[in-house]
Structure 1
Amino acid sequence: MSTPVKRRKVNSTLLQWVTKPNTEADNDLIVGPICSATSPVSAKKSSHRQSGVDPSWKKTFPWVLFTDNEKGMLCSFCTKFNMKSKNGSGVWVSVPCTYLVRDSLLRHAKTNMHIEATDLEANSILAGKGQSIQSAVEHHTSLEKTALIGAFKIMYWLAKEEIPHTTHFASLLDLAKNLGCDYLNLLQKGESVNYTSQHIMQEMLHSLSLQISTPVIDAIQQSTYYSLLVDETTDVSVLKQLTVMARYFNQDLELKTSFLTLIDVPDGKADTLVAALKQFMTENQLPAHSFIGLGSDGAAVMVGKKTGVATQLKADLNSELINIHCIAHRLALAAAQASNNIPYLQKFKSILKQLFYYYQNSAVRMSSLKQLEHILGDPAIKLKEVGDTHWLSHETAVRAVSQCLPSLIASLEREASERHDATAAGLATFVKSPSFVCTLAMLSDVLPHLNRLSKLFQKTSVDFTLVDPLVSSTQMTLLRLLEYPADNMTNLPTRFEQLEEYGVKGSETDITSFKERIYHQYINNVVENLHQRFPDTNILDALSVFDPELIDKEDPSLHEWLQHQKLKTLSDHFTSVGSFEKVKTEFHSLRQLIAVNMKDHSLRDAMLKVIQMGDLYPALAKYCMIALVLPVSTADCERSFSTMARIKSVLRNRLSQRVLNQLMCISIEGPSSSDFNFASCVSAFGQIRKRKLTTD
């Protein structure tokens, strides 16, 4: 009879590894489910289940043996080593346990004789494999880490694809196991420990987001200068949100624009927004002296001269701060307001909206329009909504109406005659007028140029050096249309002939009258608005001193008085960079280099070259850094709002502000899975779990 042994602490990690049945297919690598014989699993009463053998018990207790008649249970470990209990009973060894409930297995797993038998089995397996205890533990730990990395990859994919992780993580993990990823079974630490609980998933998400956000914050802290891009919106749960992004240089002198945070603010007042921004900067230790630019949509609360957000931040944090009104917003306003003093164009925009809602709100009308498009051979195009806040909506709406105009006229006249619809009759009369057709042609020629400019301004890489040449080029193109109209206006006579059978009657006289009343005035308004919305500011104009085109190759000192004037403007504003005499001395040396070696460079490329020569021209290099980090567009903020709307919609708002920020950080800033360092993330997760357990 074996001598009763005292309960002793057993290496649970080792037990979990050695107690999994091995097969030849395993090639001596243990990657299957774990038997947690000594795991402190609390006994649970079976709920509404009659006594009897349950085959699923073998998944948690692989040592259990069922008798042939399934009327009893034995322990393979205790039987192998002929263990005896304290009272001398042979139950579980030579006598089957006949109390066929799961609690019996749990109680036996905690007995001294089963613990000793499990330890003997572990030593037996290790002796057969020729492994040491230490190497076995290290091998199993490596496999566990591989399994955890797999789980993090699944969580990362869900977050990156904006799929609800709380409801899909466990099912996707099971799918991966069923597809052959057996190593994921190592995540099962017991009946209730399997890395799929809500708090574990949130800690995994937190670890993933930290791996992305921490390097960004560190890079901003070390950047010589950085700018913040801010914008506010109201989300789908009617809460006001302030998004914050940053534009900065990283350690490799690469210009970056990154998402930082989304702040839940109670209202849109300037004081509230300023307090939120200052608190965020303090919490993340963002240096105020490097905060050089603030980009916004140009709302009064942002740019107000007395109490606006920019004014307060400039007074409280950095007097050298430059406020920039987003160029994409300015362009949208310039285009939208060009028709303000032309009554017919105001009516035209109203008709486009009415047409959209007339068909959008009726499936019967929409079906009728689709049928007519098919019969008449028009493209099957859906009408688009017009909105001044949607930068590219006007062109798409005009294009849709223009391409399906015959079907649209026929559909409206059918609705008017068959259903006696007065709205349809009124819309049909308007769209059949020569002025409507002429306006479609005019906007089809003008809006593509404005939309092309808008798309360029919405790019993350855009900077102030591109604004003036792009705007000037667009203005010249539009002015040319006054003398040489584009295709749509030129082909208006042919267009009227094609539409004559649908009741549209137009002539050369109508075209000439339209040009005099609307065409010339509208184009001139657009050009003038672009000029007013994009004025040269003193600082931005002064930064053009580095433009190679403005430095004469034969005589770089030509127009020296103008160069000195621009340098004086910069030195007076950016007093921390250096005195006028210092920057003037540096520039006299640099302009010779620009004239000889950078003549074929753009202003942006020339500034990047100067930044790389920061050791030779420290003050001028700082000016160039300031110029390139200035946030001329806040289009990235709009993209973050789109991400927020998608995430909050699919999750039905069931998430905290912290989790929302983590999901947005991964979705917007997260690299591809192949470029993500999951090993570091697992290590960070381990530290979080260790602190959590210590706190608990």
Structure 2
Amino acid sequence: MATAPKRKATLLDFFGSPAHKKSNKTSVTTEKDKNNNNKSNESDTSAKDTADQSTLTSELTNDPTPTQSSSTSSNLSKSTSEPENSGEKLNKTSEKRSFHKNWLIDYTWLSYNENDNAMTCTLCVKHKKSNALTTGKCNNFKTSTLSRHAESSDHKAAATAKSMTGTLEKSVEKVYDEKEKAVVKALKSISSAIRKSVLESIDRSPFVSILCDESTDIGVKKKLSVYARVVNPETFQAATLYICNKEIDSGTGKGIYDALNNAEEVKGIPREKIMGLGSYGAKVMTGMGQGLTGYITRDNPMMLNYHCIAHRLALVTSQAADEVQFLVDYQRILTGIFYFFKSSAKRTHELNEIQNVLSQPNLKVKEVHEVRWMSVFIAVETVYKILDSLITFFAQDKDAKSKGYAKKMVQYDFIATTYMLMDVLPIVTELCLLFQKADLDVSLVKVSVDTCKKELSHIKNGTQGKSPHLQKLVNEDLKTDKGKVVFKANHIVQGKQNIDSIKVKFIDSILSKLDQRFPENDSNIMYAFAVLSMRPISFCSKEDLETWGNEKLEILIKQYGEKKESKPTEYQPIVTVEPIIIPDETRKEWDQLKPLVLQEGYPRDKMSTLWRLIQQNYKDRFPNLIKLAALALTAPIHTSDCERGFSSQNQVKTSLRNRIGSETVDNLLMIKIQGGKLEEFDFSVPLKLWREKQRKLFSSYRKE
């Protein structure tokens, strides 16, 4: 058979041959297995190969439609040369991949957004890295993708940064805790150094008195403020020292007694050394049965309770006013005016404007409070100073309450009562201020009370110029205009009350209350102590000098020169205390001392100064009287220091710092009250204590 002539092979034959297709397919498959590319990469490569083949075919055949020719050739090649299962492999490669939720467990830094169907590396995003897993568009859901990312330099750098941040935060927190503890320990060291000095003063003092009072702090916790009254045996300088501020569970006498016994500062004071208890006079303090006084006197029968003279006097004016009905109504008007302005800034501003026009001080009406010292006087004084402005305000204000106050305040009775109280109240207020002095001499108590009574009697009887403020009202501030009484351009309606009668009733009531609260009898030890100041002996004749002060001395001998025995109870046994002084020797010393003081010319204006000189020069000659003088100087005649302590407590523990612990408050109060001036404080002792507690901290500083 004849063979057909052999045709020359062309490029078209080559690209369409099965060998080429096989070679091309093998190449694509190998690339796929090697690089794990997705379907989009394979399509791009196939499209490029097809475009190149179409271009070559067009050039060889001069076909103006290379796309159609290429397509036909490609279809022909696929139909003649691809195996039957090639279609199944292509379909398997093009399957859509999905996110596996278990990856979130395996890769803790991975996050998945279902809405965008994309995964993100939270570490790389947080540390501002730039890669495929920070764009928010990565949907190449393959384990190999995550593995490669975990090994990438970006991710490793982000992971290292996280580890360093966590370590730094822990280090800073640890250092902060250590520094905070160091500050707390420094606070304790300073407080401990001051407390040590206080306890040393208590130990040196021959006798000690305890002062205590209760209050509730801003955190609604019941607090007990405790002070000690001591005297320096060398200088005879008396002082009231802060001891502690303790939280108590019970406000009963037993609860307070237990709190005092549990306080380390009080626990170390021998009970036979505690000779006085100063309190505000409540039954829980003064009761001889279940009161604090009862419990302490069963420990030391020689101990006496002192009702604070400032508390006693503070209630004199308020209780005296309660016995005069018109003054009760007057106080109600003042209270109503206070709340009228307190609830409105607009009214207060309008009142200030009127005060400016009338050239009166910009003052706010004060509240009358029974338990606050001097509150009655302060409220009355404020109304007196701005009375013209108040009447003008209420007269022009359209509010119904204003009209009611206007009718009351333009009455002569109200105005005259205000002036009368300005004559009476300052006398009692001056005495109240004296009784709050920290270094008050016990010898001044009786003298001051007697002076107050005398001045009140003068005003009552109309002697020595009568009442200066009432006289000013009648002679200067009240005018008559066409038959009408005018007070500073405001028309006044004549009142129904007799102001002189009200004044007499009020003063009589005050004098009666003063006699009740400051009795002059044999039981008043405080008045008996005053004889030791020996103030009037310069005015005594030789005969009078021999008997002067003997009666008061006998009161002291009866209290401190006899054996005392307590009454037994279920919890407290009988306690017997020996006399502090020897009666006969004390009387002899007293007879010898009076002429000696005159002869030496010792100053007697202050008891501590007098007895310092006696102690320094005649210590062995007058031992019994020196003991009585020490008892007098340590007598807790008022508890104003406790009240000042509560003011300090409220400055330390405020509404913004209401979670401060009781121990921290106590330490801060010790520093604030007993620390003294900053420039005079010796920090060497607390610094030494602090360094001992902070060895680790200081060793780290030395290493640095």
Verify same fold: TM over 0.5: yes
CA distance in 1, matches of 2:427, 2:553: 37
Structure 1 683/376 Cα, relative in aligned 2: closer, same or farther at 3 Å? same
- Counterpart of 1:499 in structure 2 is 487
CA distance in 2, matches of 1:522, 1:283: 44
CA distance in 1, matches of 2:164, 2:401: 79
The structural deviation recorded for 1:409 is: 1.6
The structural deviation recorded for 1:458 is: 0.7
| Aligned residue among 557, 581, 586 for 1:583 | 586
| Aligned residue among 258, 261, 273 for 1:278 | 261
CA distance in 1, matches of 2:174, 2:247: 36
- Counterpart of 2:468 in structure 1 is 487
CA distance in 2, matches of 1:643, 1:666: 11
Larger radius of gyration: 2
Contact 2:308-2:639 at 8 Å conserved across structures: yes
| Aligned residue among 523, 526, 545 for 1:540 | 526
1:121-160 per-residue CA deviation (whole Å, 9 max, x = no partner) reads xxxxxxxxxxxxxxxxxxxxxxxxxxxxxxxxxxxxxxxx
Tell me the percent identity. Answer: 27
| Aligned residue among 659, 662, 665 for 1:657 | 662
CA distance in 1, matches of 2:673, 2:459: 40
| Aligned residue among 296, 317, 323 for 1:313 | 296
Mark the runs of 5 or more structure 2 residues left unpaired by the alignment: 1-122, 130-158, 480-485, 564-577, 700-704
The structural deviation recorded for 1:475 is: 1.2
CA distance in 2, matches of 1:237, 1:673: 29
Contact 1:553-1:599 at 8 Å conserved across structures: no
The structural deviation recorded for 1:469 is: 0.7
Match of 1:334, as an amino acid? V
- Does 2:632 correspond to 1:636? no
Structure 1 452/438 Cα, relative in aligned 2: closer, same or farther at 3 Å? same
Structure 1 length-normalised TM = 0.68
- Does 2:426 correspond to 1:448? yes
- Does 2:692 correspond to 1:687? yes
| Aligned residue among 610, 616, 619 for 2:621 | 616
- Does 2:584 correspond to 1:596? no
| Aligned residue among 233, 243, 255 for 2:215 | 233
| Aligned residue runs from structure 1 range 163-562, under 5 A | 193=175, 197-250=179-232, 252-280=235-263, 284-316=267-299, 318-415=300-397, 417=398, 421-482=399-460, 483=462, 484-493=465-474, 494-497=476-479, 499=487, 501-506=489-494, 513-516=498-501, 518-536=502-520, 537-549=523-535, 551=537, 552=540, 554-555=542-543, 556-558=545-547, 562=551
Q: Secondary structure at the match of 2:500?
A: helix
Structure 2 length-normalised TM = 0.68
Structure 1 196/411 Cα, relative in aligned 2: closer, same or farther at 3 Å? farther
Match of 2:434, as an amino acid? L
Match of 1:662, as an amino acid? N
Structure 1 193/663 Cα, relative in aligned 2: closer, same or farther at 3 Å? same
1:184-215 per-residue CA deviation (whole Å, 9 max, x = no partner) reads xxxxx999648973211111110111111111
The structural deviation recorded for 1:654 is: 1.9
Contact 1:587-1:620 at 8 Å conserved across structures: yes
The worse-fitting range, judged by mean Cα deviation, of 670-679 and 228-237 is 670-679
- Counterpart of 2:106 in structure 1 is none
Q: Secondary structure at the match of 2:653?
A: helix
Contact 1:548-1:595 at 8 Å conserved across structures: no
Structure 1 104/666 Cα, relative in aligned 2: closer, same or farther at 3 Å? closer
Match of 1:279, as an amino acid? N
Structure 1 535/47 Cα, relative in aligned 2: closer, same or farther at 3 Å? farther
CA distance in 2, matches of 1:592, 1:283: 41
Structure 1 592/355 Cα, relative in aligned 2: closer, same or farther at 3 Å? same
Q: Secondary structure at the match of 1:232?
A: strand
Structure 1 308/237 Cα, relative in aligned 2: closer, same or farther at 3 Å? same
Q: Secondary structure at the match of 2:302?
A: coil
Contact 1:463-1:632 at 8 Å conserved across structures: no
Match of 1:442, as an amino acid? M
Structure 1 624/430 Cα, relative in aligned 2: closer, same or farther at 3 Å? same
CA distance in 2, matches of 1:374, 1:280: 55
Match of 1:637, as an amino acid? C
Match of 2:610, as an amino acid? A
1:25-73 per-residue CA deviation (whole Å, 9 max, x = no partner) reads xxxxxxxxxxxxxxxxxxxx9996579xxxxxxxxxxxxxxxxxxxxxx
Contact 2:219-2:659 at 8 Å conserved across structures: no
The structural deviation recorded for 1:378 is: 2.5
Contact 1:217-1:284 at 8 Å conserved across structures: no
Contact 1:227-1:294 at 8 Å conserved across structures: yes
Match of 1:580, as an amino acid? P
The worse-fitting range, judged by mean Cα deviation, of 521-530 and 428-437 is 521-530
Q: Secondary structure at the match of 2:584?
A: helix
Structure 1 547/675 Cα, relative in aligned 2: closer, same or farther at 3 Å? closer
Q: Secondary structure at the match of 1:491?
A: helix
The structural deviation recorded for 1:567 is: 5.4
CA distance in 1, matches of 2:267, 2:196: 10
Contact 1:230-1:242 at 8 Å conserved across structures: yes
1:566-608 per-residue CA deviation (whole Å, 9 max, x = no partner) reads 4542443574323212222322322331242357523624344
CA distance in 1, matches of 2:264, 2:582: 29
For these two proteins, the number of residue pairs brought into alignment is 516
| Aligned residue runs from structure 1 range 29-40, under 5 A | none
Match of 1:357, as an amino acid? Y
The structural deviation recorded for 1:281 is: 5.6
Contact 2:561-2:579 at 8 Å conserved across structures: no
Q: Secondary structure at the match of 1:261?
A: strand
CA distance in 2, matches of 1:46, 1:273: 64
Q: Secondary structure at the match of 1:687?
A: helix
Contact 2:235-2:612 at 8 Å conserved across structures: no
1:462-514 per-residue CA deviation (whole Å, 9 max, x = no partner) reads 1321100111111111111121323211112222226263222459xx78x21
Structure 1 339/539 Cα, relative in aligned 2: closer, same or farther at 3 Å? same
Mark the runs of 5 or more structure 1 residues left unpaired by the alignment: 1-44, 52-98, 108-188
Q: Secondary structure at the match of 1:260?
A: strand
CA distance in 2, matches of 1:558, 1:204: 59
- Counterpart of 1:676 in structure 2 is 681
Q: Secondary structure at the match of 1:244?
A: strand
RMSD: 3.3
Match of 2:454, as an amino acid? M
1:377-400 per-residue CA deviation (whole Å, 9 max, x = no partner) reads 332211111111111222221122
- Counterpart of 1:89 in structure 2 is none
Contact 1:544-1:603 at 8 Å conserved across structures: no
